[in-house]
């Protein structure tokens, strides 16, 4: 434990000093993850004994893999800004940042001679600097990528961005491919064949969206997400892209807007062109239906779009048409269920009962109205003058559906319960067969844990 130290609050309130040399010479050359690793590590250096000064906390805070953090520190070691004292467990010492401190590691001239010639022939727009060559060498050795494979990747990047493409772009693409296991000439060949097809498709999508720039690595990642993860076909993606062009939604980051729209269709379980076209065609009708349902159950929402997506589309997927949903809304209002969440619960209940049409719901309501009349007559026999409530319905459902009591048996039990202080309680006792109006000797029993667990399982199997 240190003899003197900063308080935790002072550490939080203090600032982390960053060298101007770092900002001028190093920051412009490194990628975003390397910058984040260096700066957060510099911050943690302010209190080396902090409980959260661990690789696990570091990785969780920056949302990076531990191997990526180690690779970043190896990069900064190459630049002369840190010293990696140990890999397992990882231990890093930050070094002073000095002017022109970025040291270029000495590599064998023969080792990368062919690579140097090949990659310079691709980067025709400028001469490759020693610093840039050093970045390529560091990447090749850190990620164990074949030099010829990196040349192929550089050519791919030059085709996308031009002969003056920056080395940071090339290394970013190469790292993404290396993380996916693409490190050999054969693997790059396969990736390029796939990317060529994807590039043609993405170019068409860009045309539909009115985008004139060349595809970036993130565009390929989005395309993989749309096709592999979400499961949309090229035709559907192109259709959605075309529908966004010329609308307010296509302004700004068009690919992000396309991503959001496809995610929306994915959540709504709309995957085919005819499904999406039908949804788009019905959008106005659905909005009107949403306002009418709100009116019937007595609520108001200024924006109906969220109601359409969260409630109406799932309800209609279950087979409930507009007229049926309006009938359910009226039923909910009359039975005191006056929120969309309440109506959703009613819809779910009807669906489980196989009731999805207006006729079926009318029959259900008619049956319940008739049942309420029977219960009301029963309450009159018990001497109660109140209206039927949910508790009465639950009791009646238990007697008739669970205990299988007939109307005659219930009437006879009601005759016995009439005039009692708590007639409904007495009626339940009669129908359940419990002892009535006499002393009952209660025998205490001891049960093992196993017996009680068995009883709990049996109770869980009771279906009401």
In angstroms, rounded to a whole number, what is the distance separating the alpha carbons of residues 260 and 245?
14
Going from the C-alpha of 247 to that of each of 299, 304, 422, the distances in angstroms are 31, 20, 68
What pLDDT, on the 0 to 100 scale, is given for residue 49? 57
Do residues 385 and 285 share a domain?
Answer: no
Residue 142 lies in a domain: yes
What pLDDT, on the 0 to 100 scale, is given for residue 232? 92
Contacts of 241 (CB under 8 A, 6+ apart): 205, 208, 209, 258
- Considering 207-211, 243-247, 314-318, the range whose residues carry the highest mean pLDDT is 314-318
Do residues 131 and 48 share a domain?
Answer: no
3-state secondary structure of 405: coil
pLDDT at 191 over 50: yes
Q: How large is the average pLDDT for residues 85-114?
A: 74
Going from the C-alpha of 204 to that of each of 227, 239, 249, 253, 373, the distances in angstroms are 15, 11, 19, 17, 66
Do residues 121 and 234 share a domain?
Answer: yes
**HSE (side-chain half, CA atoms, 13 Å) at 220:** 18
pLDDT tens digits for 264-306?
A: 889 888 899 998 888 787 777 888 888 899 888 888 877 777 7
Do residues 125 and 242 share a domain?
Answer: yes
**Residues in the chain, how many?**
464
pTM of the model: 0.39
pLDDT tens digits for 64-97?
A: 888 788 888 887 887 788 888 877 778 888 888 8
In angstroms, rounded to a whole number, what is the distance separating the alpha carbons of residues 84 and 91?
6
Residue 103 lies in a domain: no
Tell which wins on pLDDT, 440 or 394: 394
Residue 439 lies in a domain: no
Q: How many domains does the chain have?
A: 4
What pLDDT, on the 0 to 100 scale, is given for residue 262? 92
pLDDT tens digits for 360-384?
A: 888 887 888 888 898 899 889 888 8
Residue 163 lies in a domain: yes
Contacts of 449 (CB under 8 A, 6+ apart): none
pLDDT at 151 over 90: yes
Residue 362 lies in a domain: no
Do residues 128 and 202 share a domain?
Answer: yes
Residue 448 lies in a domain: no
Structural contact between residues 111 and 141, judged by C-beta atoms closer than 8 angstroms? no
Do residues 126 and 244 share a domain?
Answer: yes
Beta bridge partners of 440: none
Do residues 143 and 36 share a domain?
Answer: no
Do residues 118 and 225 share a domain?
Answer: yes
pLDDT at 8 over 70: no
**457 falls in which pLDDT band (50, 70, 90)?**
very low
pLDDT at 462 over 50: no
Do residues 12 and 78 share a domain?
Answer: yes
Structural domain containing residue 124: 113-249
Do residues 306 and 388 share a domain?
Answer: no
Q: How large is the average pLDDT for residues 189-212?
A: 83
Residue 445 lies in a domain: no
Do residues 156 and 84 share a domain?
Answer: no
pLDDT at 453 over 60: no
**121 falls in which pLDDT band (50, 70, 90)?**
very high
Neighbour-count burial of 299, counting CB atoms closer than 10 A to its CB (0-12 exposed, 13-18 middle, 19+ buried):
middle
Residue 228 lies in a domain: yes
Do residues 378 and 332 share a domain?
Answer: no
């Amino acid at each position: 434990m240190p003899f003197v130290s900063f308080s935790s609050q002072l550490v939080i309130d203090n600032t982390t000093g960053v060298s101007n040399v770092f900002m001028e010479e190093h920051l412009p050359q490194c990628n975003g993850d390397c910058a984040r690793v260096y700066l957060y590590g510099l911050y943690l250096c302010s209190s080396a004994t902090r409980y959260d000064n661990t690789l696990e906390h570091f990785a969780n805070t920056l949302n990076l893999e531990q191997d990526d953090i180690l690779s970043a520190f190896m990069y900064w070691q190459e630049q002369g800004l840190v010293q990696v004292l140990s890999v397992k467990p990882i231990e890093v010492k930050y070094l002073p940042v000095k002017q022109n401190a970025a040291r270029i590691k000495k590599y064998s001239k023969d080792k990368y001679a062919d690579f140097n010639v090949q990659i310079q022939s691709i980067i025709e727009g400028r001469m490759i600097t020693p610093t840039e060559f050093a970045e390529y060498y560091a990447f090749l050795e850190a990620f164990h990528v074949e030099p010829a494979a990196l040349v192929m990747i550089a050519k791919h990047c030059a085709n996308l961005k031009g002969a003056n493409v920056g080395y940071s772009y090339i290394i970013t693409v190469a790292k993404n491919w290396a993380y996916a296991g693409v490190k050999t000439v054969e693997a790059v060949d396969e990736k390029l064949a796939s990317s060529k097809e994807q590039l043609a498709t993405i170019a068409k999508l860009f045309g539909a969206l009115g985008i004139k720039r060349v595809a970036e690595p993130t565009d390929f990642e989005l395309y993989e997400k749309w096709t592999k993860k979400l499961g949309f076909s090229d035709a559907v993606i192109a259709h959605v892209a075309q529908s966004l062009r010329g609308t307010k939604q296509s302004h700004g980051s068009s690919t992000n807007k396309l991503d959001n729209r496809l995610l929306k269709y994915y959540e709504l379980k709309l995957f085919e062109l005819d499904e999406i076209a039908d949804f788009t065609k019905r959008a106005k009708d659905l909005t009107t239906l949403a306002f009418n349902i709100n009116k019937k159950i007595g609520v108001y929402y200024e924006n109906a779009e969220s109601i359409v997506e969260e409630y109406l589309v799932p309800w209609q997927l279950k087979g409930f048409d507009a007229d049926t949903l309006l009938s359910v809304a009226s039923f909910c209002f009359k039975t005191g269920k006056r929120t969309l969440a309440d109506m959703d619960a009613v819809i779910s209940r009807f669906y489980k009962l196989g009731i999805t049409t207006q006729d079926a719901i009318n029959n259900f309501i008619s049956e319940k109205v008739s049942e309420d009349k029977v219960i009301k007559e029963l309450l009159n026999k018990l001497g109660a003058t109140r209206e039927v409530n949910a508790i009465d319905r639950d009791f009646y459902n238990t007697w008739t559906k669970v205990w299988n009591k007939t109307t005659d048996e219930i009437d006879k039990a009601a005759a016995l319960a009439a005039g009692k202080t708590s007639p409904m309680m007495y009626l339940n006792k009669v129908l359940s067969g419990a002892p009535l109006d006499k002393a009952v000797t209660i025998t205490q029993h001891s049960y093992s844990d196993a017996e009680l667990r068995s009883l709990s399982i049996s109770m869980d199997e009771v279906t009401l």
